[in-house]
Amino acid sequence: MAVEGFQMSWLLLALDWLIRLAALFWIPSRSTPGAARSWLLLVGFVPLLGLPLYLLLGEPWLSRQRVRRQAESSQVIREEQVLLQPLRWLPPGDTPIAEIAPLVERQGDFMPIHGNAVMLLDDYDAALRALLDDIAGASQRVHLLYYLMFDDAVGEAVITALEQAAARGVHCRLLLDAVGAKRGLRRYRKRLLAAGVEVRAMLPGGLRWRRSGRMDMRNHRKIAVIDNRVGHIGSQNLAASDFVPGFPNRELVARLQGPVVAQLEAVFASDWFIESGQRLEVMADVPLCAADVATQLLPSGPAYPFSNARDAVNALIHLARRRIVLVTPYFVPDEATLSALRIAALSGVQVQLILSASNNQRLTAWAQQAYYDELLRAGVRIALYRPHFLHAKHLSVDDDIALVGSINLDIRSFALNAEIGVLCYDTAVVRRLQVIEADYLADCEQLSAARWQQRPAWRRSREGIARLADALM
């Protein structure tokens, strides 16, 4: 008996080291250096737990079918944009816009176009009312794509609006993330189908996840397209502002009119095709708006060849000449973004980060605090917004570039989630966004490097340990 126990101990020890050595040769070749370090640390400490977790969550892979369908969609978008070619907006030479616009177009497929109107909706209830009113005025079709929908008063209001639109003969389609909108799908799917609304769950889990991709990859976009006249894009989901108890959300939504609506419809059609294989016709005859705002869509996600959102955000940070303000609820940057922020501040650019003082994800909150010291010492200003959970995601560069959408400044948004943003090259839109930023700052606590360095040692340790898990967030 003792011999058998001795043999079993040696067998477990050999297996333990075999896993460690295999991970050392396998993981670095399939992950970024930062992610590889995190995974190797976990496997090194707990091999029998770390290996299964890596096999499930380690590689940001999508099924070949999804990657192929995204490539097909990108090709169609590039070919069909010839219809909008007369609306192409040419940025002035020798400006940051002239450098960012070609990058966004080459990576995300959409060219900058003029003739649009952009309304920024900073009030949660007002943004919801605008969406419901637009659905109520639909005459042809309503397309909604959202990460999260709850079975609450807001979910009920949206479902009722879709039922009423379908009863009028409006063709309604609803795309919801299978995980984020699980409650809404469970409550409303049969009811919507009975009303004639087409419903699809994006990136389904369970036994079907192998046909989708890594199980924690999500479609995080928030898009609404009504007829060929109006679109909504931003951070707000289909749920009440206090859907997370104790964390009432503050959001920002851009209500769009003009040719950009056809581009937004193309993003919806692309995601519908990726999920269903069904091709939708995109309306291209969208009227021009007198406001004549130049816009450019920035879609991103793991199905694209490059990290579109990360590259665009980093380029904007580097291109800022005087000031850049970045607003995000989750701030867990990769090394490239961290370096860009530090270099911009040390170069004399006023860099202002506005983050939420409260956070509904504790590990993420601890991890992002690990970056404050380095950034504060470089001259980056960090403000913590206190009245609500600031869930808005946007940035402004100098006086002529604004980015509004669903993109967080974290590794998950950059590498794992499908996201969407709209770049607005317009001083009036930027001025409106600056007013919103100033309103945030009036209710913020500005951190100081000296005060931050006085935090207890146990907090520093907690932050450092949490930062090691950045590849898992």
Confidence of residue 303 (pLDDT cuts 50, 70, 90): very high
Whether 473 has a pLDDT exceeding 70, the answer reads: no
How far is residue 309's CA from residue 98's CA, in Å, rounded to a whole number? 18
- DSSP sequence for 35-87: HHHHHHHHHHH-HHHHHHHHHHHTS--B-HHHHHHHHHHHHHHHHHGGGGGGG
Whether 5 has a pLDDT exceeding 70, the answer reads: no
Q: Quote the percentage of the chain above a pLDDT of 70.
A: 92
pLDDT in tens, 230-275: 999 999 999 999 988 878 999 999 999 999 999 999 999 999 999 9
Confidence of residue 206 (pLDDT cuts 50, 70, 90): low
Average pLDDT, the chain: 90
The domain limits of the chain are 2-57, 64-93+117-292, 308-472
Closest CA to 152 of 243, 237, 279: 243
SS3 17: helix
pLDDT of residue 243: 85
Q: Which fold has domain 308-472?
A: Endonuclease; Chain A (3.30.870)
Whether 2 has a pLDDT exceeding 90, the answer reads: no
Overall average pLDDT of the 265-292 stretch: 90
Overall average pLDDT of the 432-446 stretch: 97
CATH number for the domain formed by residue range(s) 64-93+117-292: 3.30.870.10
Q: What predicted TM-score, i.e. pTM, was given to this entire model?
A: 0.91
Confidence of residue 339 (pLDDT cuts 50, 70, 90): very high
pLDDT of residue 4: 59
Residue 445 Cα distances to 19, 202, 330, 359, 386, angstroms: 47, 39, 17, 15, 8
> Which residues have CB under 8 Å from 312's CB, separation 6+?
100, 103, 104, 107, 108, 298, 300, 403, 421, 423
Q: Any idea what DSSP says for residue 347? A: T
pLDDT in tens, 95-130: 999 999 999 999 999 999 999 999 999 999 999 999
Greatest pairwise CA separation for the chain in angstroms: 87
**The token pair that represents 280 in the structure block:** 């939708």
Q: Are strands 350-356 and 381-385 parallel, antiparallel or unpaired?
A: parallel
